[in-house]
Each structure stands twice: as C-alpha cells, then as structure tokens.
Amino acid sequence: MKHFLSLESITTADMKSILRRASYFKQERSRHPQPLTGQSWGLIFSKSSTRTRVSFEVGIRELGGNVLFLNANDIQLGRGEPIKDTARVLGRMLHGAVIRTFAQDDVEEFARYSGIPTVNALTDGEHPCQILTDIFTFEELRRESIAGKVVTFVGDGACNVPASWIWAAARLDFELRIAAPTAYQPANELLRRAGGRVSVTSDLAAAARGADLLYTDVWISMGKEAESAQRLKDLAGFQINATVVRLAAPEALVMHCLPAYRGNEIDHATLEAHAETIFAEAENRLHTQKAILEWMLE
Ligand code: CP
Ligand code: NVA
C-alpha cells in the first residue's frame, strides 16, 4: 500500500520515475490507459482550493475513476467525528483518498486507519504534489535536470511549500536558498533532518543572486488569517519584483504556486511577465498528479 503524504518518504528513484510519467501523461492526455477504472476516490477538503481540487477531480476521471468531493464541514468529521472513525468508514467504501487539511498528523492518521492509498493535497506541514509539479515544470521548460541548479524561495519560509522544497532538495540534489525574515524561517529540526544543500537567510539579494528559479508563495497561508496585519508588516520586502529578477541568472524562471496576491509576495508586472511559466505550472498539477496516482497503484 503506497501513500503520498510527504516528500520525506519518497525516494529519489520514485520522484524521478513520477516526473518521467508526468511527461507521458501530458503528451498522451486523451490517449493514456485508465488504471483507475472501476475505482471510486474521495477528495476530503477542510480548506479552500481551486487548482488542487479541479486537477484531482479531472485527473481521477481521466484515469477512469469516479470521484466524490467531500467538504469536511458537510460530513460528520466537521461535527467532531474522529478522523480514525471517518477513515475506517471511508476505507471500506473508497479505493483512495486525497486530503487537504490542517495538521500533517491528521492526514497520516487517516492513511493509517483507512487502509487505502492516501494523498496529501496540502497540510500546514507540506504541499508535496505542488513541489513535484514545480520541478516537472522547471525541467520541462528548461529542458534540463534541476540537479545542480539554484532554487531561491522568497517569502514565508516556515510554511508548507518551502518545507516540501527542503525535502525535494535533499532528494534531487539542487541548491535551495530560503530568503525569509528570521521569524519566518524553517525550523532547525526540519533542516537538520532533511540535510541537502539548503541555506536560510534574511538577505534577499544574496539569496537571489545567480538563481535559476525564483519561487514564492502567499504571505498569509490558509489558517493564518488572524495574523494578517502582522505578516504584511513582517514580510514586506520579501517580494519577487524586477529588482530581484535582475539579480537572478539571465534565463531564470519565476514561479508561484498560486493563488497570487499581487503587491505582496510578487508585484503585478513580474507576475504578468512570467504568466506563461506560472500558468503552465498550474496546468501541470493535472499531469503530475496523474503520475502520482499511477505510482500509488504499483
Ligand atoms: N496551489 C494550490 O494548491 O492551489 P489551490 O489552493 O487553488 O488548490
Ligand atoms: N502556503 C499556502 C499554499 C497555498 C497553495 C497555504 O497553505 O495557504
């Protein structure tokens, strides 16, 4: 039984094989086999989503499966039914689950009790489907491996997206620089556990210099809305804009996992100048996640 809960538990070989299959699924979009035929998968979401929800719903259907979208507030989970009971019920009816929630422990508990393949579609701890897609997009657009390249993450370095980047750097041998204010830097414990070529600084210019990929994410992640005013103040300056792009390598890509808040983590002109890359990245969620689902069935 395979789960896709964290990039920590995905080997280098498995990541590379998923990336190769993502390219196949993109090329053969309406012609590939349908390994989920006869299966019903549930999407159980406790947070908002556009890209993840639609890419999984469409992807599961294109792989031949049925899909149920379950807003966590509409099922008894939202009224306090324990995760382990929900998991044991759904595990007897569904063939797989895709979960977006708050605590990483909750998605792991669901996987443990449900006995069905379970995907982390974003927790406070990680966003593994996103980062594998971003790497696929980098390699697709640059037509070269990410190994040996420099990726600079700018913004809230302590949230889910940079955490998955940290595990990816350890597995795929690129240099990761995280530019964030001191209070928004990843936990030392995570950095120590992951290893890899990862550096953390509050010097944005130093981190951007010579980068092959400039990457950002929202300053206010889902669940952090109460901290909005403080975050806007603390993270001001950790923005991708023309000044930062000029410091990067001449052929550097600019990516954003979206949704974007123009004027915060990226300015309007930079987002629009790199829209081709950023929306290809969004589309690639579909292709990469199909490859992840196929890998889970192996
Ligand atoms: N990037 C991403 O996960 O987008 P959604 O929140 O819209 O799913
Ligand atoms: N860090 C963001 C990612 C959104 C896709 C969040 O958790 O809201």
Indicate the fold that domain 130-281 takes in CATH: Rossmann fold (3.40.50)
Using alpha carbons only, give the angle 132, 209, 181 rounded to the nearest 5 degrees.
75
Determine the atom of ligand 2 nearest the C-alpha atom of 49: 5
Ligand nearest to the CA of residue 221, numbered in listed order: 2
Rounded to an integer, the average pLDDT of 23-31 is: 96
Band of pLDDT at residue 101, cut at 50, 70 and 90: very high
Count CA atoms closer than 13 A to 289's CA, side-chain side. Answer: 31
Same fold, 7-127+285-297 and 130-281: yes
244-297 tens-digit pLDDT:
999 999 999 999 999 999 999 999 999 999 999 999 999 999 999 999 999 999
Indicate the fold that domain 7-127+285-297 takes in CATH: Rossmann fold (3.40.50)
Report the DSSP beta bridge partners of residue 1.
none
Which residue puts its alpha carbon closest to atom 1 of ligand 2? 221
Is the pTM above the cut of 0.85?
yes
158-185 tens-digit pLDDT:
999 999 999 999 999 999 999 999 999 9
Instruction: Write the DSSP string, 133-200.
Output: HHHHHHHHHHTS-STT-EEEEES-TTSHHHHHHHHHHHHHT-EEEEE--GGGSPPHHHHHHH-SSEEE
CA distances from 19 to 50, 196, 226 (A): 23, 20, 37
**Are 181 and 158 spatial neighbours (Cβ–Cβ below 8 Å)?**
no
Count CA atoms closer than 13 A to 157's CA, side-chain side. Answer: 30
Ligand 1 test: best mutation among 45, 46, 50, most atoms within 8 Å of CB? 50
Band of pLDDT at residue 30, cut at 50, 70 and 90: confident
123-140 tens-digit pLDDT:
999 999 999 999 999 999
257 lines ligand 2 (CB under 6 A): yes
CA separation for the pair 259, 139 (Å, rounded): 22
Determine the atom of ligand 1 nearest the C-alpha atom of 257: 1
Under DSSP, the state recorded for 111 is: H
Using alpha carbons only, give the angle 272, 123, 274 rounded to the nearest 5 degrees.
10
- What residue segments make up the domains of the chain, in order of their start? 7-127+285-297, 130-281
> In angstroms, how far is CA 209 from the centroid of its own chain?
24
- pLDDT of 192 reads 98
CA separation for the pair 15, 30 (Å, rounded): 24
